[in-house]
Amino acid sequence: MNYFIEGLQGSGKSTLVSKLSEKHPDFKAVREGDYSPVELAWCAYVSKDKYAEILEKYSSIEDMIREKSYEEDDHVIICYTQIITDVPGFHRDLEQYEIYNGRVDFDEFKTILTRRYSRWNGQNGIFECSLFQNTVEDMILFREASDDEILEFYKEIRKVLEDKEYHIYYLKAEDIPANIGIIRKERSDDQGKELWFPLMMGYFNECPYAVSKGLSGEQALYDHFKHRQELELRILEEVFAGKYTLLTSKEYGDDQL
């Protein structure tokens, strides 16, 4: 069996991953930014020629880059956010090679994801944000896809996963602003200066979806999260019936696990 842990930002996914890892020590937890057989968040996805260019450009940390690199066919995946370095511009440079946020055209995006899900043949994995969050955000905010288009995409993903053993735990947020408020405080510096939320607001305000609809600000962001959760719950019901469990964010008991 494998577990996919899904839900909105601030719903407690990381906490649930930790709880399941403690309950099942023989399972491997795969978090955002880790090398994953099914997800590419916070990772660069480059051709071998581009990889060689990156190694040459950042030769002073070549060994560190190689340590966090994994070959797949004619591409290399670099878990660049796990590379701790003060080399100027390194992380911003590698960010451009992620596949999300509309950085690759949809046909390529779809091919990359379906191929990786199809080839995945692992067991005893606990995957954080590896099915919905990054893909749904990409499709809503950067491709401006309709709910029905996203639903059809996941019907194809379900077919690809047909022979895999997995179960989805979805953390449903009852109070989205309150959940976001908690991580705003958690992701602040020692002086209380917010680090995460201003980046989140910039990400939302500048995305094609918000720009084309003239949206901005906290309420617009919360409205987007509400819509995304409703859509993800619909995907679970219509596409992944029998493959998921709903848990109320921050209110479930350990006996439910």
Per-residue pLDDT tens digits for 22-31? 999 999 999 9
Question: Domain check: are 141 and 77 in the same one?
Answer: no
pLDDT of residue 122: 87
Question: Domain check: are 68 and 81 in the same one?
Answer: yes
Per DSSP bridges, beta strands 167-172 and 244-248 are parallel
Question: Domain check: are 88 and 177 in the same one?
Answer: no
Show the domain range for 14. 3-39+102-256
Question: Domain check: are 89 and 110 in the same one?
Answer: no
Per-residue pLDDT tens digits for 118-160? 999 989 999 999 999 999 999 999 999 999 999 999 999 999 9
Question: Domain check: are 163 and 75 in the same one?
Answer: no
Question: Domain check: are 225 and 240 in the same one?
Answer: yes
Using 50, 70 and 90 to split pLDDT, how confident is the model at 257? confident
Report the percent of the chain where pLDDT is more than 70. Answer: 100
* pTM, to two decimals: 0.94
Question: Domain check: are 113 and 81 in the same one?
Answer: no
Q: How many domains are contained in the chain?
A: 2
CATH of the domain at 147: 3.40.50.300
Cα separation of 227 and 248, whole Å? 17
Question: Domain check: are 134 and 242 in the same one?
Answer: yes
Per-residue pLDDT tens digits for 54-99? 999 999 999 999 999 999 999 999 999 999 999 999 999 999 999 9
24's tokens: 């099942």
Question: Domain check: are 35 and 75 in the same one?
Answer: no
Burial bucket for residue 80 (CB in 10 Å: 0-12, 13-18, 19+): buried
Using 50, 70 and 90 to split pLDDT, how confident is the model at 114? very high
